[in-house]
C-alpha cells in the first residue's frame, strides 16, 4: 500500500512531506476519471466542473444565508428553476434545495410528505399517530427504505411492490397493496417510483403510477438520481413521460450529467413545503429584520445547518456547455450503451441478463467455453456465479479496468456495465469485451 504511515503525528510535517503525501494519495486512488472505469454510476471528470469545485473551496462559503453567499444563493435558485423547467412544472415553479447525495434528497421527500399528511408530527412526533404506510418498488434504491426507518415510519410499513421482468414497478400490485394497507387500518401516504433503477436502469411507468396516486390522494415521488438527466435530451426525455405530475423528484447531476461529486437536488412542486417541514427559525442565523429580503435565506428549509456549495460547479459546467452541449453529452452516453449492446449480441460467450435495456445500464454474463456445454440448471448457475468475481479480481490485479458485478434474486453474478464517462469511446468498449473474453478463458 502507501509507502509511509497514515498516522497523524504529534509534530508538524514540512511542506516537502505534505507534497509527498499528496502524490502518494493520488497514486493509490482509483482513477475514476479514466475512460475504462465503469464500476459506478458516477464516473469521468469534467474539467469545467472541476474548476468550479476548486473555486468553491477557495470561497469556502456556507450556504445557509444570502448575506454570506449572495452569488451562490442566486445561482442555486437559477439552477433549481432550470431543473424544474425540465421536469415540466410551468415556468420552473416550485421549490428545492441541493442536498448531500440522492439518499438525503429522498429523505427530504419522505419528510415533506409525512409533514403534509400529519403536520403535527413535527411537534408531537409519531407516537400516537396513525400508522403511515409508504410504497416503493422492490427494485428501488435502499435509501427509500432507510428514509422510512429514520423518520419513524418503520421498515414494516415500507411496502415492496413487485417489478416486472424488465425491472419496472407493477401498477396492479401497487394498487392491490394500497387496498390491503387500507383494509388493515394503515394510512397510505407516499409512493416512490424510480427513473433509472440502479441495476437494470428501468423506468417505472410514471403516468400510470400518477393515476393511482391521484386516486388515493398519495404523495408521488420519483427518484431520478440516475435517470433524471435524460430530461435534458429531447431524444430521450420520453423515458420520464408524465414526470410533471409528481409532487417531488430527486435528481443527481453528479451522475449522468458529469458534475463532480457531490451534486444532488430535491425538487418539490409546491413552494413553501420544505420550510414548513424543516424550519425552526434559529434567531442567531435567520433574523427577520435583516436589511435585505430574507426569503433569499435558504438555510431554514434545509435539514443541515452548515451546507456545502454544490451548485457552482454545475452552474459553471452548464454555462460552458449550454443546453445543446448537455444534450450532446447525454446522447453520446446513450450511443455508447447501444454500441455495447451490439457487441454483447455479436460476441460468442456473452449473454444478456436483460435484452434491449432502455437506458445506460447493460447487464450481461460472460460464459467461458468450459461451461457452455452445461445445460441450464444448478450446476451451470453455480459455475457461472464464480465467473464475474474472478474476472474482476484479475482486472483489478492488473489495474486495467473496473466493472461492477452482482447477483439479482436467483440469478448468478453478472456484470453491470455503466457508460457515464463522456471520455469513453467505441474502442474502449471493444477493448473491454476483448479483455473480459481473454481473462474469462484464463480463469
Same domain? For 292 and 421 the reply is: no
- 171 lies in the same domain as 300: yes
Given 289, 310, 331, the domain boundary residue is 310
Question: What is the residue-level pLDDT of the chain in tens, covering all 443 positions?
Answer: 555 578 898 999 999 999 999 999 999 999 999 999 998 888 999 999 999 999 999 999 999 998 999 999 999 999 999 999 999 999 999 999 999 999 999 999 999 999 999 999 999 999 999 999 999 999 999 999 999 999 999 999 999 999 999 999 999 999 999 999 999 999 999 999 999 999 999 999 999 999 999 999 999 999 999 999 999 999 999 999 999 999 999 999 999 999 999 999 999 999 999 999 999 887 777 788 888 888 888 989 999 999 999 999 999 999 999 999 999 999 999 999 999 999 999 999 999 999 999 999 999 999 999 999 999 999 999 999 999 999 999 999 999 999 999 999 999 999 999 999 999 999 999 999 999 999 998 88
Picking from 229, 230, 200, the residue whose alpha carbon sits closest to that of residue 137 is 200
Indicate whether 32 and 85 sit together in one domain.
Answer: no
- The answer to whether the beta carbons of residues 163 and 135 sit under 8 Å apart is no
Domain that holds residue 165: 61-310
Q: Looking at the domain assignment, is residue 71 inside a domain?
A: yes
Task: Identify whether 56 is part of a domain.
Answer: no
Instruction: Give the chain's domain count.
Output: 2
- Residue 55 located in a structural domain: no
State whether 112 and 188 are in the same domain.
yes
| Vertex 221 angle, CA 220 and 222, to 5° | 130
Q: Is residue 38 in some structural domain?
A: yes
| 236 and 342 fall within a common domain | no
117 and 32, same domain (yes or no): no
Whether residues 393 and 420 fall in one domain:
yes
The answer to whether position 316 is within a domain reads: no
Do residue 215 and residue 294 come from a single domain?
yes
Q: In which residue are the cell numbers 397510505 written?
A: 188
CATH of the domain at 70: 3.40.640.10
pTM: 0.94
- Asked whether residue 440 is assigned to any structural domain, the reply reads yes
Amino acid at each position: 500500500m502507501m509507502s509511509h504511515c497514515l498516522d497523524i503525528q504529534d509534530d508538524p510535517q514540512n511542506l516537502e512531506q505534505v507534497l509527498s503525501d499528496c502524490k502518494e494519495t493520488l497514486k493509490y486512488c482509483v482513477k475514476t476519471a479514466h475512460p475504462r472505469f465503469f464500476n459506478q454510476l458516477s464516473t469521468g471528470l469534467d474539467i469545467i466542473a472541476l474548476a468550479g469545485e476548486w473555486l468553491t473551496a477557495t470561497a469556502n462559503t456556507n450556504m445557509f444565508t444570502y448575506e454570506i453567499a449572495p452569488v451562490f444563493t442566486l445561482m442555486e435558485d437559477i439552477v433549481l428553476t432550470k431543473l424544474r423547467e425540465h421536469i415540466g412544472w410551468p415556468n420552473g415553479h416550485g421549490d428545492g434545495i441541493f442536498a448531500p447525495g440522492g439518499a438525503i434528497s429522498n429523505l427530504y421527500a419522505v419528510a415533506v410528505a409525512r409533514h403534509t399528511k400529519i403536520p403535527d408530527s413535527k411537534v408531537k412526533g409519531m407516537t400516537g399517530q396513525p400508522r403511515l404506510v409508504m410504497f416503493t418498488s422492490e427494485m428501488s434504491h435502499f435509501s427509500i427504505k432507510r428514509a422510512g426507518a429514520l423518520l419513524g415510519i418503520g421498515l414494516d410499513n415500507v411496502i415492496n411492490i413487485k417489478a416486472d421482468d424488465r425491472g419496472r414497478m407493477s401498477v396492479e400490485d401497487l394498487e392491490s397493496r394500497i387496498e390491503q394497507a387500507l383494509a388493515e387500518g394503515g394510512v397510505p401516504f407516499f409512493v416512490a417510483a424510480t427513473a433509472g433503477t440502479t441495476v437494470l436502469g428501468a423506468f417505472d411507468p410514471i403516468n400510470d403510477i400518477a393515476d393511482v396516486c391521484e386516486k388515493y390522494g398519495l404523495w408521488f415521488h420519483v427518484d431520478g438520481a440516475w435517470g433524471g438527466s435524460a430530461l435534458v435530451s429531447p431524444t430521450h426525455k420520453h423515458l420520464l413521460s408524465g414526470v410533471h405530475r409528481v409532487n417531488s423528484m430527486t435528481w443527481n447531476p453528479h451522475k449522468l450529467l458529469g458534475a463532480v461529486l457531490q451534486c444532488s437536488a430535491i425538487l418539490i412542486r409546491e413552494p413553501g413545503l420544505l420550510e414548513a417541514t424543516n424550519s425552526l427559525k434559529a434567531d442567531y442565523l435567520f433574523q427577520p429584520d435583516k436589511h435585505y429580503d430574507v426569503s433569499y435565506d435558504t438555510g431554514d428549509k434545509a435539514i443541515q445547518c452548515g451546507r456545502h456549495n454544490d451548485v457552482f460547479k454545475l452552474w459553471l459546467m452548464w454555462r460552458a456547455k449550454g443546453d445543446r452541449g448537455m444534450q450532446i453529452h447525454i446522447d453520446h452516453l446513450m450511443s455508447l450503451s447501444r454500441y455495447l449492446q451490439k457487441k454483447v449480441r455479436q460476441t460468442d460467450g456473452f449473454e444478456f441478463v436483460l435484452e434491449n435495456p432502455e437506458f445506460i445500464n447493460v447487464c450481461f454474463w460472460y460464459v467461458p467455453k468450459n461451461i457452455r456445454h452445461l445445460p441450464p440448471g444448478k450446476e451451470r448457475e453455480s459455475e457461472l456465479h464464480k465467473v464475474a468475481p474472478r474476472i474482476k479480481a484479475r482486472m483489478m490485479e492488473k489495474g486495467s479496468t473496473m466493472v461492477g458485478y452482482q447477483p439479482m434474486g436467483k440469478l448468478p453474478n453478472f456484470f453491470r456495465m455503466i457508460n457515464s464517462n463522456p471520455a469513453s469511446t467505441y474502442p474502449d468498449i471493444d477493448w473491454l469485451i476483448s479483455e473480459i473474453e481473454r481473462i474469462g478463458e484464463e480463469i
